[in-house]
C-alpha cells in the first residue's frame, strides 16, 4: 500500500509540474534533536529538556526550503530501508522524490544539541548519503535542461565530479560547500555560478586560495554570497559589494537557518530577482526559521516570508 501511494504521487507530480525544475543533489538525514541547558562536557551525563526526531540533512532542508519558496524541486539522494517514512514526508512538502535511492545502508543521521542560547552542536553520521554512486547520478542528470539550476552541498561524495558533470549538461551550478573541509578547498570554483558560504567558510577559503583576502572571492566564482549570522549577509559580484543586514527576531533554534537562506536565495535568483532583494528575502526566511524549533519543520512558506517583509516595511 505504501509503495502504491508513492508511485501514485510520482504520477501526479509529473502531470502537475510545468515550470523548469531545480535539481538538488544532497544529503538526507534523520535529526535527533536534544534540547539542553548547555552543551554536554567531556565525561558528563546531562539530562535533556526535550527530544524530537525530525527530517534533516542539509540537502533535504534546502529542497524543502526551495519548495516552500515556490519552486519545483527534484531531490537526488539516498536513504536506507530503515527510514522510508522520509519519502512521504518529502513528498508532502512537494519535493520530487523519484531520484531518491533506497539502499541497504543505514540512513544518515545527526545528533543535535540545542542550548538555551539557541546555538547548536551536531554529531553527524553520513550513512546512505555516502553510498550514492556517481553512475546513478548520471541517470538523474539525463533530463536536466540547459540553463536550469543544480544545487549541491558538501555532505555527499564525489562533489568535484558531480559539479563537473552537472556543468557538462549545460546546467547552472549553485554550491553550498558545508560542512567545509579539505576537499571543499579544491573544488572547481571557476565553473560554479553561485557560491554560498558562511563567514567562517569564507575565511577558510580565502586563506587557502586567496592569501586571506575575502574581497577577492569573486575572482574564484562570479557570484559569492557570505552569510554572517546576526550581522546579515554580503555579496561579492563583478567588483560590486552588496550588504544586507539581518532581521532582529527572538531566536529559539538556529538549526537549519543557513539551509533556509540557501533555498530562498536560489529561488529568488532563479526567478530573476535582483541580488539585494534576493538576499533580503532569504534573510527574512532564515529569520523566521530560527523562531521555531527544528530544521525542515521550521522553514517558512513564501506567503509567511512575504507577510513578514510587508510587516517590516510597514505595509
Rounded mean pLDDT, 2-8? 52
Q: Which CATH class is domain 2-312?
A: alpha beta
Query: What's the pTM value of the predicted model, to 2 decimals?
Result: 0.90
Query: Is residue 77 within 8 Å of 136, Cβ to Cβ?
Result: no
Residues in the chain, total: 315
Report the SS3 class of residue 73.
strand
- Cα 88 from Cα 81, distance rounded (Å): 14
The domain locations on the chain are: 2-312
For 157-178, what is each residue's pLDDT tens digit?
A: 899 999 999 999 999 999 999 9
**pLDDT score, position 239:** 83
Dihedral in degrees, nearest 10, Cα atoms 15, 20, 24, 29:
-30
> pLDDT for 219-274, tens place per residue?
999 999 999 999 999 999 988 899 999 999 999 988 899 999 999 999 999 999 99
C-alpha–C-alpha distance, residues 84 and 103, integer Å: 11
Please provide residue 191's backbone torsions phi and psi, each rounded to the nearest 5 degrees: -110, 5
Taking each helix axis from N to C end, the angle separating 302-312 and 275-289, rounded to the nearest 10 degrees, works out to 100
Where do we find the cell 573541509? 181
Q: What is the C-alpha separation between 285 and 302, in angstroms, rounded?
A: 8
Catalytic residues: 259
Amino acid at each position: 500500500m505504501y509503495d502504491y501511494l508513492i508511485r501514485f504521487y510520482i504520477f501526479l507530480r509529473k502531470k502537475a509540474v510545468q515550470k523548469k525544475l531545480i535539481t538538488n543533489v544532497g544529503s538526507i538525514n534523520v535529526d535527533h534533536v536534544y534540547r539542553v541547558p548547555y552543551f554536554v562536557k567531556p565525561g558528563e551525563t546531562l539530562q535533556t529538556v526535550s527530544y524530537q526526531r525530525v527530517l534533516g540533512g542539509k540537502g533535504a532542508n534546502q529542497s524543502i526550503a526551495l519548495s516552500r519558496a515556490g519552486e519545483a524541486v527534484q531531490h537526488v539522494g539516498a536513504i536506507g530501508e530503515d527510514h522510508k517514512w522520509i519519502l512521504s514526508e518529502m513528498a508532502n512538502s512537494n519535493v520530487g522524490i523519484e531520484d531518491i535511492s533506497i539502499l541497504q545502508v543505514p540512513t544518515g543521521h545527526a545528533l543535535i544539541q540545542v542550548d538555551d542560547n539557541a546555538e547548536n552542536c551536531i554529531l553527524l553520521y553520513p550513512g546512505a548519503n555516502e553510498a550514492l554512486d556517481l553512475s546513478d547520478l548520471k541517470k538523474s542528470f539525463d533530463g536536466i535542461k540547459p540553463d536550469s539550476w543544480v544545487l549541491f552541498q558538501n555532505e555527499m561524495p564525489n562533489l568535484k565530479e558531480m559539479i563537473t558533470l552537472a556543468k557538462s549538461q549545460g546546467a547552472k551550478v549553485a554550491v553550498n560547500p558545508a560542512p567545509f573541509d579539505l576537499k571543499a578547498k579544491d573544488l572547481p570554483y571557476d565553473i560554479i555560478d553561485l557560491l554560498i558560504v558562511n563567514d567562517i567558510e569564507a575565511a577558510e577559503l580565502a586563506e587557502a586560495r586567496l592569501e586571506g583576502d575575502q574581497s577577492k572571492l569573486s575572482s574564484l566564482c562570479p557570484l559569492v554570497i557570505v552569510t554572517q549570522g546576526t550581522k546579515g549577509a554580503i555579496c561579492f559580484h563583478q567588483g560590486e559589494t552588496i550588504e544586507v543586514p539581518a532581521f532582529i527576531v527572538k531566536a529559539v533554534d538556529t538549526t537549519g537557518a543557513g539551509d533556509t537562506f540557501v533555498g530562498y536565495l536560489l529561488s529568488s535568483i532563479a526567478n530573476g530577482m535582483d541580488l539585494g532583494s534576493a538576499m533580503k528575502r532569504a534573510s527574512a526566511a532564515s529569520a523566521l526559521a530560527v523562531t521555531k524549533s527544528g530544521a525542515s519543520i521550521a522553514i517558512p512558506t513564501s506567503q509567511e516570508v512575504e507577510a513578514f517583509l510587508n510587516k517590516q516595511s510597514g505595509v
